């Protein structure tokens, strides 16, 4: 009996040592992670921590997706693509005059565009109204300076996105590299500090 105890005691000692060793390694890993968090509090360009307040419903894509090559039109009828603004942070808002939430949020997009003047930021409010409502859409945007009038009368752009969207309004944010970084389905306040924080984060990227 005593011999069994004596024979088992070294094994118990080794087990205790292994457990303590594992615990120390775990503590070291936690300390390292905490230290790194203080040294580099966020990954460059990461937006997850900014999905709060008015941006709480921000959808962050699981995979990088470049802006579609689909054209829409400016106020003069000239074809334009999101990729034409590469090198800037681009906020694309898909809206229509028949969409009440779109009408309500548009002044906040105008406020965002005003606040970002002089920076590498472009706010594109793209109407998907049919041709027969183009004048109505143009007049509405004219009341929301400094937004310019853009239109996609065949609603090609919403269905060219990855994934496509049928929600109105839909707002997409593209980084300087032309890749979609975030998406919002439905109305939001784009004129406040929460949206500004998202834009500022993306402007930090080079």
Same domain, 52 and 136: yes
Same domain, 28 and 77: no
pLDDT tens, residue by residue, 68-84: 999 999 999 999 999 99
pLDDT score of 7 more than 80: no
Provide Rg for the chain, Cα atoms.
26
| Residue 52 pLDDT | 96
Same domain, 152 and 104: yes
Same domain, 126 and 27: no
pLDDT score of 23 more than 80: no
pLDDT tens, residue by residue, 85-105: 999 999 999 999 999 999 999
Q: Which of 134, 120, 61 is nearest to 91 (CA)?
A: 120
pLDDT score of 21 more than 70: no
Same domain, 33 and 3: yes
pLDDT tens, residue by residue, 117-149: 999 999 999 999 999 999 999 999 999 999 999
Q: How confident is the model at residue 17 (pLDDT cuts 50, 70, 90)?
A: very low
Q: Which of 9, 59, 19 is nearest to 163 (CA)?
A: 59
Same domain, 34 and 107: no
CA 108 and chain centroid, separation: 17
- For residue 199, the enclosing domain spans 48-203
C-alpha dihedral, 180 to 182 to 183 to 189, nearest 10°: -130
Same domain, 130 and 179: yes
pLDDT tens, residue by residue, 148-171: 999 999 999 999 999 999 999 999
Same domain, 180 and 126: yes
DSSP-derived secondary structure letter, 147: P
- Number of compact structural domains in the chain: 2
Whichever domain contains 62, its CATH number is: 3.40.30.10
């Amino acid at each position: 009996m005593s011999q069994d105890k004596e024979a088992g005691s070294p094994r118990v000692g080794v087990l205790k040592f292994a457990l303590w060793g594992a615990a120390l390694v775990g503590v070291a890993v936690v300390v390292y992670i905490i230290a790194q968090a203080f040294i580099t509090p966020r990954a460059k360009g990461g937006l997850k921590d900014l999905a709060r307040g008015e941006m709480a419903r921000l959808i962050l894509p699981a995979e990088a997706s470049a802006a579609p090559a689909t054209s829409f039109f400016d106020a003069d009828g000239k074809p334009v693509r999101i990729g034409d603004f590469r090198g800037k942070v681009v906020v694309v808002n898909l809206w229509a005059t028949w969409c009440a939430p779109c009408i309500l949020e548009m002044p906040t997009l105008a406020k965002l565009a005003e606040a970002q003047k002089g920076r590498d930021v472009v706010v594109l409010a793209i109407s998907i109204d049919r041709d027969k409502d183009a004048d109505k859409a143009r007049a509405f945007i004219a009341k929301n300076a400094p937004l310019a009038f853009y239109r996609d009368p065949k609603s090609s752009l919403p269905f060219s996105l990855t994934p496509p969207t049928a929600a109105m309004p839909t707002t997409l944010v593209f980084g300087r590299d032309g890749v979609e970084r975030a998406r919002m389905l439905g109305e939001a306040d784009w004129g406040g500090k929460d949206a500004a924080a998202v834009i500022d984060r993306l402007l930090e990227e080079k």
